[in-house]
Amino acid sequence: MATIRQALLLSSSNCHGYTMLEFAKHEICAILEKNNIKQLLFVPYAQNDFNSYTSKIKDVIDPWGFEVSGIHTHPDPADAVMSTKAIFIGGGNTFLLLKRLYELNLVELIRNRVNEGNLIYIGSSAGTNVATKSIHTTNDMPIIYPPSFDAIKIIPFNINPHYLETPDPSTHKGETRDQRLNEYMEMDHAAPVLGLKEGAMLHVNGDSLVLKGVTGGVLFKKGHKKVEYPVGADLTFLFNLHGTH
């Protein structure tokens, strides 16, 4: 296994026109096969029915030639993370997920193992949110308090999964996603935000960032207008962008 940081950050597990995770199958298989990985540790902490959620992911990924197990079936979650070469953190509620990761002392452990190149990180939705600098730009309701909004920090900026284009202003008079993200941009602590449309994912390979999937993304940066990026765009500059540290 190559000793560089590797991650695949999905907007979600579902995309219109595809079965669960189908749009990401090629990229998930490629990152695991490249590193000779057969076993994948699934983290269902963003939801409450751990067994059902794990079974759902297992039913999809096992037929691809891998073996999925739930972290909750291991007596020691930290030991499970230390013993695996690849982890998949699923979606649900981001606040609940991050709280559980902190309670189990997994945030720093995952960060270190990924940054050392010893753990492949795959995240979807909430699992993508917690891989970033902070969870300030999640779409989820704050149903519980994590001890901090600071997240795993595999990347030094934020992501907004499930990003939606601003609706037609002639028919939509309510709030928009752009408004919410621009309110965040007005804060002193605001980091750049990559809005991932459904079907989009960010591939982290060492110090390289590439937008993959079937749809593109949108970048929000303090003091700038949003910029659209297509599938295949090289976003490596985000590692060095002012305001990401």
Residues 11, 12, 124, 125: which is the catalytic one?
Answer: 125
Can you tell me the distance from the alpha carbon of 84 to that of 20, in angstroms, rounded to the nearest whole number? 24
Residue 223 belongs to a domain: yes
Residues 11, 13, 136, 162: which is the catalytic one?
Answer: 162
Which range of residues forms the domain containing residue 204? 6-238
DSSP three-state, residue 6: strand
* pLDDT per position as a tens digit, 73-100: 999 999 999 999 999 999 999 999 999 9
* pLDDT per position as a tens digit, 61-76: 999 999 999 999 999 9
Residue 65: name the closest of 38, 41, 88, 87 by CA: 38
Q: How confident is the model at residue 167 (pLDDT cuts 50, 70, 90)?
A: low
Lowest mean pLDDT segment, chosen from 50-64, 149-163, 166-180: 166-180
Residue 120 belongs to a domain: yes
Residue 88 belongs to a domain: yes
Can you tell me the distance from the alpha carbon of 218 to that of 221, in angstroms, rounded to the nearest whole number? 10
Three-state secondary structure string covering 173-232: CCCCHHHHHHHHHCCCCCCCEEEEECCEEEEEECCEEEEEECCCEEEECCCCCCEEECCC
Q: How far is CA 129 from CA 61, 79, 137, 169, in A?
A: 22, 23, 8, 28
Cα dihedral 159, 19, 89, 240, rounded to 10, equals: -30
Average pLDDT value over all residues in the chain: 94
Chain-centroid distance, C-alpha 62:
21
Residue 129 belongs to a domain: yes
Q: Does the active-site annotation cover 189?
A: no
Burial class (CB in 10 A: 0-12, 13-18, 19+), 80: buried
Residue 1 belongs to a domain: no
- For residue 2, the model assigns a pLDDT of 52
pLDDT for 6 beyond 70: yes
CATH number of residue 93's parent domain: 3.40.50.880
- For residue 171, the model assigns a pLDDT of 67
Residue 219: name the closest of 152, 91, 243, 111 by CA: 243
List the end-to-end C-alpha distance of the chain, in Å, as a whole number.
Answer: 28
Residue 74 belongs to a domain: yes
Residue 190 belongs to a domain: yes
Q: Does the active-site annotation cover 49?
A: no
Residues 13, 136, 140, 203: which is the catalytic one?
Answer: 140
Domain count, the chain: 1
Q: Does the active-site annotation cover 125?
A: yes
Residue 192 belongs to a domain: yes
- For residue 169, the model assigns a pLDDT of 65
- For residue 173, the model assigns a pLDDT of 63
